[in-house]
Structure 1
Amino acid sequence: MGSGQVTDWQGKHVTVAGLGVSGVPAAKALHGLGAKVTVVNDGDDARAREQAAELEALGVTVRLGDGTAPDSGSAAGLPEGTELIVTAPGWRPDHPLFAAADAAGVPVWGDVELAWRLRKPGAADWLAVTGTNGKTTTVQMLASILEAAGLRTAAVGNIGVSLLDAVLGDEEYDVLAVELSSYQLHWAPSLRAHSAAVLNLAPDHLDWHGSMEAYAKDKGRIYEGNRVACVYNVADKATEDLVREADVEEGCRAVGFTLGTPGTSQLGVVEGLLVDRAFVENRQKNAQELAEVADVKPAAPHNIANALAAAALARAYGVPAAAVREGLRNFTPDAHRIAHVADVDGVAYVDDSKATNTHAAQASLAAYDSVVWIAGGLAKGATFDELVAEAAGRLRGAVLIGRDRALIREALARHAPEVPVVDLGRTDTGAMLQAVQEARRLARPGDTVLLAPACASMDMFANYNKRGDAFAQAVRELGA
């Protein structure tokens, strides 16, 4: 089970840690390859029991409940005979199961590592994307550009097609656009992408990684062994530092993207055009027009940066400029990402429920001049002083919801004391209608009421989609 490709899984004892969207496909794939699979899962709810029944019908052993609980023949929750653990991304590195694996000399792979090792000979190259924010949009833009170039591709990883399905299925791809989280990268030591991008770095998931340094290090793994290009954000020096630290193949280039005029080996913006000074002949003097800023939807600054990163990866793969333009024009953003819901009495209502951390909210707020901000939820250990200080001049008012709203209220008191704040002391789902009504009261014609919570949603809603849906419904009730 070392660093090489495992070709014979017959009879291998593999423990899969976690059910869910990655654990179930991993268990099925390994079982199909002939491995003896045991799944351990911390939770024991209705969904877990349903998934367990599906796997048990195939002959997979499933242990629901405490994934660390000893049973007969196990040591600290490590099922007897385990030769490999394949973990779902959400399981923290300090989980007792992994400590037991380390003590027993058992390797731990993530679902991405498993997919990488299971690729067929001559398999598609991977163009990989990570970052605190913008990953999904960038990968979808990239897939759209690759499709416009006539390439067989898919957006995979955290979105769309599962990576295991992509590498094991019958469909043949030329190249894959791969979204990777810091969790996935932590458990993917063998991954070697054709080219990769880190879009940005800001504190997030620190409860999982333990420190900003550990989080950045895991993000930086995406550059290891890159063959053609390491794409970084000129405005975020931490991403360039990760490129400098990476051990890449000889000839691999550092390629920056910027919202300003690009330097040599960069992509950027000149007079409303997206231009390439990296993948052109005589790049010291020449630039290639790729698209117009107006081709990017929506043309908010952080989304233009996403488009440039996607273009850089596509160009690294040899995609012509015309396909970049066509791919960006064909791209439609997902719901709940700076989505304009309606205009009511001269006020725009925008749903960016996907802004689940401070970095995403910062980018969202920067796209508008005068904002009534709806924020709050689960802070996940975040602080809000920097966000509020930067946005203070744009805020007409703020309406706060959710469990950790006091952290935002206190930051507003420190850095924007003149901004009127409505603190809704409730966390039921009906709070969103009241929040929108309060925001309408604070807003003036020309303002934007912006749902950019800077927090996770699970204190009030099943997910950020449900939160955004509640916002949109409340806005529709205003205009009724």
Structure 2
Amino acid sequence: MSTSYEPRAGLTCREADWSGLRVLVAGLGVSGFAAADALLEQGATVIVVDAAEAPAADDEGPLAGRIKILEILDADVRMGPEQVRSLPSEIDLVVTSPGWRPDHPLLVEAADRGIPVWGEVELAWRMRPRVGAAPWVTVTGTNGKTTTVQMTVDILRAAGKRAIAAGNVGTPIMEAVLDPTAYDVIVVELSSFQLHWQRSLSPLAAACLNVAPDHVDWHGSFEEYVRAKARIYENTQIACIYNVDDSRTEQMVQDADVVEGCRAIGFTLGVPGLSMVGLVDDVLADRAFVEERRTSAAELGTLADLQVGTQAPAPHYVANALAAAALARAAGVPAVAVRDGLRGFRPDAHRIAEVATAEGVTWVDDSKATNPHAAAASLAAYPSVVWVAGGQLKGADVDDLVRRRADRLRGVVLMGVDRDQIATALARHAPDVPIVDIDSTDNDVMDLVVQAAAEMAQPGDVVLLAPAAASLDMFAHYGVRGDAFAAAVRRHLERSC
């Protein structure tokens, strides 16, 4: 670890000497507030800056509430765009929120001045107690992180362990670390933004589920994005879990500097080799965490244990379950707990969620498929699809997605600001697939989408909302988009009765 990453020697646990440390916290969102609060409690001198204008005196919103609390605790809170242009003169450490890009002028100035920059995850790791801290199990990937984290928590709880989901999902990581509850395991979802700033985490087990182009605007290049994801494996103690079908994740493990004795464990939708978990027919099989793994395997469950609704579990959902099983097994749970945890698990809304089935057509909401990699995985789950796609592509290329999944398309309904890019890819790789272009952005857009999809669909088809794009051109977030789709489906079916 570079000494420039250390503002003061020995800041490795909550009981260290934080007093008088001069810290600038960049951003006053949930993570920034939690970081400032924790530092103040340890006696640090804290300045908080945020580009937002200061709320009015009578404002009772969350931002105003955070400011009031921090000022009561003697933080120096500075609001407005002029406050984020340069650093104050005497600062020992900058703690940045995930949304702040590395090329932000304030962070660049910190680097130029040799001032360490930590993310809130790095700070949370260093705020763990010296004795009795819960081990972390960490998960990243372009897609599937939240589902895998939640599955892992359910498996751990089925084994009787006190486990919590934290980070990008569930409880903020700082809150989980400072919680007086004696957790046995904290399962942490980490984004590439968070991993960019981490240096000292040492998880019990870590997994990178997959890597595909995303957030290139934040990182500056795909290579930097991959490099950030790879930090998930640094200093891992027991097991680095990688995706056998994604060679980049295996290379990350090979390149990682891990604790001596840490093992590489693969997960695969095929028959597992040595030190892997995978599928043997419909059985989830473990050849990694059994003593006689050269000649035998442990049964962790079956595909039937994963089924939700009438459809068989999608391949990427099965892959997530295998990754979760490997993480939990690395934490010492028995095979039966894997089965019980997965059997009781229910994914969050808008993730391959079956909305309705009528006249042989199944309607599925996967609005969470906000990039081409996620949409490709969703389309792979069904042999014949009327695909509902479009929105903000954020510079992503959809050519490979369309080329790989063209043979599954009955038809396509396009919406959103970047729909022409998808139409161009379809013309190139699936010229015979019918397309309906919905150029409306009115409140009834989903009714138009659903009507067009219904006219294309035939018995046995799946009408799949897997947009491959973000939603902010038309909806507040992907959940609102999914809700609008489901509501329009229900209205259509009611009218059809």
Q: What TM-score, normalized to structure 2?
A: 0.92
Q: Distance in 2 between matches of 1:11 and 1:242?
A: 39
Confirm or deny: 8 A CA contact 2:389 2:465 kept in the other structure. yes
1:169 offset after TM fit, Å?
1.4
Please say if residues 429 and 461 of structure 1, whose CA atoms lie closer than 8 Å, have aligned partners that are also in contact: no
Q: Pick from 298, 304, 316 the counterpart of residue 302 of structure 1.
A: 316
Among residues 143, 149, 159, which one is paired with 1:139 in the alignment? Answer: 149
| Deviation of 1:4 (Å) | 3.7
- Deviation string 1:361-413 (CA, Å, 9 cap, x unpaired) is 00000001111111111111101000001111111111111111111111111
Kindly report which structure 2 residues correspond to 1:192-231, keeping only aligned pairs within 5 A, or say none.
192-231=202-241
Letter paired with 2:347: P
- Aligned partner of 1:65 in structure 2 is 80
- Give the deviation of 1:431 after TM superposition: 1.6
The verdict on how the C-alpha distance between 1:284 and 1:449 changes in structure 2, with shifts beyond 3 A counting, is same
Retained in 2: the 8 A contact 1:17–1:67? Answer: no
RMSD: 1.6
Structure 2 Cα separation of the partners of residues 42 and 417 of structure 1: 48
1:159-194 CA deviation, whole Å, 9 max, x = no partner? 111111111111111111111111111111111111
Q: Which stretch of structure 1 is more off in the superposition, 403-412 or 255-264?
A: 403-412
Correspondence 1:427-446 to 2 at 5 A:
427-446=441-460
Task: Name 2:463's counterpart in structure 1.
Answer: 449
Amino acid at match of 1:421: I
CA contact (8 A) 2:151 2:345 kept: yes
Partners of 2:54 and 2:384 in 1: how far apart? 45
Find the aligned partners of 1:134 and 1:350 in 2 and give their Cα distance.
17
Partner residue, 2:4: none
Residues 24-423 of structure 1: pairs in structure 2 closer than 5 A: 24-44=33-53, 48-49=63-64, 51-66=66-81, 69=84, 76-120=85-129, 121-298=131-308, 299-423=313-437
CA distance in 2, matches of 1:411, 1:383: 9
Q: Identity of paired residues, percent? A: 59
8 A Cα contact 2:275 2:287, kept in partner: yes
Question: 2 CA distance for matches of 1:428 and 1:111?
Answer: 39
Q: Check 1:114–1:409 CA distance in 2 against 1; reply closer, same or farther (3 A cut).
A: same
Matched-pair contact (CA < 8 Å) for 2:11–2:18: no
Amino acid at match of 2:395: G
* Aligned with 2:488 (options 460, 474, 479): 474
Unaligned runs of 5+ residues in structure 1 are: 70-75
Residue pair 2:11, 2:17 contacting (<8 A) in 1 also: no
CA distance in 2, matches of 1:4, 1:436: 59
**Equivalent residues of 2:18, 2:39 under 8 A apart:** yes
Question: 2: distance between equivalents of 1:296 and 1:45?
Answer: 48
Q: Which residue of 1 aligns with 2:26?
A: 17
Code of the residue aligned with 2:457 in structure 1: it is: A
Between stretches 335-344 and 51-60, larger displacement belongs to 51-60
Q: SS in structure 2 opposite 1:422?
A: strand
**Mapped partners of 1:274, 1:322: distance in 2:** 12
SS at match of 2:118: strand
The amino acid of 1:284's aligned partner reads R
Q: How many residues align?
A: 474
Q: Please identify, of 325-334 and 55-64, the stretch whose mean Cα deviation from structure 2 is larger.
A: 55-64
Q: Which moved more, 1:91-100 or 1:293-302?
A: 293-302
Displacement, 1:460?
Answer: 1.2
Q: Which amino acid in structure 1 is aligned with residue 177 of structure 2?
A: V
Alignment check: 8 A CA contact 2:209 2:243 kept: yes
2:439 aligned with 1:425, yes or no?
yes
